Amino acid sequence: MYFFSRFDVFKHVISRPVLGSLCSALICFPIVYAAPQDDGKGPDGPVYSPGTHSMYKDGWIDFNKNGKKDVYEDPLAKIDDRIEDLLSQMTLEEKTCQMVTLYGYRRVLPDALPKPEWKNKIWKDGMGAIDEHLNGFIQWGLPPSDNPNVWPASRHAWALNEVQKFFIEDTRLGIPTDFTNEGIRGVESYMATNFPTQLGIGHTWNRRLVRKIGEITGREGRLLGYTNVYAPILDVGRDQRWGRYEEVYGESPYLVGELGVEMAKGMQKDYQVAATAKHYIAYSNNKGAREGMSRVDPQMSPREVELIHVYPWRKVIGKAGLLGAMSSYNDYDGEPIQSSKYWLTDRLRKDFGFKGYVVSDSDAVEYLYQKHKTALDMKDAVRQSVDAGLNIRCTFRSPDSYVLPLRELVREGGLSMETIDERVRDILRVKFLVGLFDHPYQTDLAAADKEVNSEENQQVALQASREAIVLLKNKDKTLPLDANKLKKVAVIGPNADEKAFALTHYGPLAVEVTTVLDGVKKKLEGKAEVAYSKGCDLVDARWPESEIVRMPLTADEQRDIDQAVETAKDSDVIIAVLGGGPRTCGENKSRSSLDLPGRQEDLLRALHATGKPVVLVLINGRPLSINWADQNVPAIVEAWYPGSQGGTAISDVLFGDYNPGGKLTVTFPKTTGQIPFNFPSRLASQVNGGGTPGQRGNQSRVNGPLYPFGHGLSYTSFKYSDLKIEPRVVTPNQKVKVSFTLKNTGDREGDEVVQLYTRDIISSISGYEKLLNGFDRIPLKPGESKRVELELDPQDLALINAHRERVVEPGDFEIMIGESSVKTKLKGTLTVIDANDRQALSRQQNKPEGKLLSNILSASTGQNLASRAVDGDKTTSWPASAGDYLTLSLKEGSQPREIQVTWGKGSKADFIIQVSSGGGQFLDVVSDTIQCDAPETKTYKLKGTTASDARILISRGKAGIANVSVAGFEVK
């Protein structure tokens, strides 16, 4: 009999600090092994017992059944020693079986539970991982599995234990398998806590909440029997047409990295599971967002890859100790990631310090010869992948298809045993870290039933659904609705009573879902009538061709819209619930348009035509170009895919029981013709084109985003004040504290997502307009003030210089605090100096904070006196003679309609005011004369066209410019 007490677990854990407190993570309770359980019977109690096999000893397990405690079996030994001891005992057959995944029930494995014939299968020598076993998912478009071992949670955990028991008891060395599963919105199981999709989670901007989501995901995963969960996704969104936009946190690498750290730390708390992030690397920006299965030809420069796509991986590995990475099946610059030693070894392991194992995404290995055409055949593809750094092949194919050519390669000398050993070491390290050799069974079956999808966890999910919601528009305070003043509310649209958005792949499959209609009915129960009509389907019969060839409404489509109008015409308010769903967004579902699909805009226009107030609720997985809605609908709420409790969360926002505080982590383009249009953007890469529409205008395209990165409204208001940057002068290795006061100046409690942006004033390489480098979500009661502190790490200011080195260059950086990327409230300057330049440090520390003018104000002569023109002092001026000019650089997209000039005492000159729209060409817009004995202020009308610079040229005589002001010019 084998007894493993609470004390034993604790004693073994503290002897290996690297494991953390496995006791608090999971399974810290007495385990007494008794009679074996019958496969068909299932669990017969709250505690799992594998049986009375003699291998279960007092405080350890005799995995190789040799009657003695080998080093790898000793919980007190160092992990590295245990790995080497086990590796020395393994045969080629056993090593290669550790390097492959067996897909679970009804994917590849036909059996839910072990069968006698398993002893004749390739996994008789062990198995690296078993993926998605009994998680309920069978195939896209099919209902969840009805196998009895799928649910309840205790039965599921018992079944995985039974499978684990085969590998422990019936293989020579007893190496446990790693049970892997998806988990980007909760563990993919028949039941589990169902969170919003990762895009929704990103819109919470809440590190603490994301950490909690990670803890719940990891905890529920382990209670169900899984030891490795595929999350978080570290892809950075760049093209809104991409089908997997619903799975990214956002477009900012900083935000993706910060939330990725919290998710990974939460999941790996006390090593309850390993977190395997995906998709490594450069996966999320394909040509035109098209998704051929090999994801070829990503359109990115090397610096874009480093600063946008590599950034989150470096941060999450460095700060969270990530234990898994899924290698993507795309190429970059013609080199498939799957066969790249540069990416899988030199960068991932040597540069980033990754210590876990790499698992392939789907057919990444097979694509080397099938699609990329860089390998001759499967055998060559295996060789290239393993040599590059792949640890485990994972796809929906028999393990034999990978293991057999792998063994042939070793026997033929195509791969060395040293390479095989190195790959297996990584796999075993992860298995030791998550406790598989010390506690291979999930024994607390009662805890699984109690905690998985518990009410407590659902409350966290509900809060995530609330915090993910973004109020895009709220004209004349249309929202919140007053339930006490309503008699009838019409809930209309294809997403009004839809549940599919909460039950897609990579998360819980069969939980109860509250629709928007459900939520509104419950909110108005006993107060007002709620009428419902679908109005139209999510897409029409000819979609997506109907996006490019517009056809009249069919009779059936017109009838459905007319019926919705009839339902809504005597209501007090219409809640239109539109957007997307699994048909329009998801893996392999990139789009050619961002408009509302199908006949949804026709429906919205018809509802608006009733004259009733319309509130638009969007449920979708990517930004949509809702231009007509933005111009005509007074209130717009973006809910993303809000999880199983989305209907409750949305209703709480609509009726004022929750004040929305989410901010956009993505950009809403007005049209796909603007793409690429994202944040962050390179300097001057998203400039506007002309500002005057019409036949006599100069505007050739639409300007600006529909909604910018960071945008989001609230039912209350906030005031920012008193910015402090401490210290103002730092070396690249010093942290900076940026603090300010935030006050809720409205009459409602609310959250404000404060955002810190930086801009490198002058750099050796052209950089970004601005970068997100700090944020927090701050709750405040009405009238409450709080001193907010954000930490800025100068390492986040790094660029890739001309020598391809990642460096923080000395210089000035603009610090901006605001409520979005375009609405900054506070500004200051941070100076970074070389850590070895002590004299510069002394000079900078003693220098008063001054104005940064050299990059925005230039003079043809007397540059040192140019600041007089913007110092606000009318008694001092910049002196100019014929031919001299003063040039002011304007903010991007400026359309100045007037310029105000204060002429200095004694000015007597002819002058020309010019503007430039780029390219260095200046056009005359004002020609005039000035003559004054005392300072005199004049205002001159401009044309209001988009301008990048404004210039005052003295053409004859002499003048002084004491002050100048024009929209778009701002002194730093």
Any idea which residues carry the catalytic annotation? 361
The phi-psi region of residue 931 (left if phi > 0; otherwise alpha if psi is between -120 and 50; otherwise beta) is beta
Q: What's the one-letter identity of residue 577?
A: V
CA gap 527, 26 in Å, rounded: 46
Tokens of residue 565, six digits: 């109008």
CA gap 481, 360 in Å, rounded: 49
Residues 538-545: contacts with CB within 8 Å, 24+ apart? 538/494, 538/495, 538/498, 538/580, 538/581, 538/583, 538/584, 538/597, 538/598, 538/600, 539/583, 539/584, 539/597, 539/598, 540/598, 540/599, 543/597, 543/598, 544/591, 544/592, 544/593, 544/597
CA gap 345, 360 in Å, rounded: 14
Where b means 16+ CB within 10 Å and e means fewer, 395-427 reads bebbbebbbbbbbebbeeebbeeebbebbbbbb
- Element spanning 31, H or E: strand 31-32
Alpha helices of 713-807 — where are they, by DSSP H?
A: none
**φ/ψ (deg, to 5) at 792:** -110, 125
For residue 140, how many other CB atoms are within 10 A of its CB? 11
Three-class SS of 285-313: CCHHHCCCCCCCCCCCCHHHHHHHHHHHH
Tokens of residue 609, six digits: 């035509």
Tokens of residue 201, six digits: 């989670």
The phi-psi region of residue 722 (left if phi > 0; otherwise alpha if psi is between -120 and 50; otherwise beta) is left
DSSP 381-437: HHHHHHHHT--BB-SSS-THHHHHHHHHHHHHTSS-HHHHHHHHHHHHHHHHHTTTT
Bridge partners, residue 831, by sequence: 729, 812
Q: Is 129 helix (H, G, I), strand (E, B) or coil?
A: strand
DSSP 347-397: IIIIIT---SEEEE-TTHHHHHHHTS--SSSHHHHHHHHHHHT--BB-SSS
CA gap 46, 256 in Å, rounded: 40
CA gap 236, 407 in Å, rounded: 37
Closest CA to 848 of 729, 670, 672, 703: 729
Direct distance between the N- and C-terminal alpha carbons of the chain, in angstroms, rounded to an integer: 75
Closest CA to 100 of 479, 406, 414: 406
DSSP 130: E
Bridge partners, residue 824, by sequence: 818
Radius of gyration (C-alpha) of the chain in whole angstroms: 31
Contact predicate 718/745, CB 8 Å = yes
Closest CA to 175 of 128, 222, 224: 128
The phi-psi region of residue 230 (left if phi > 0; otherwise alpha if psi is between -120 and 50; otherwise beta) is beta
CA gap 516, 843 in Å, rounded: 61
Tokens of residue 650, six digits: 């949305």
CA gap 102, 108 in Å, rounded: 7
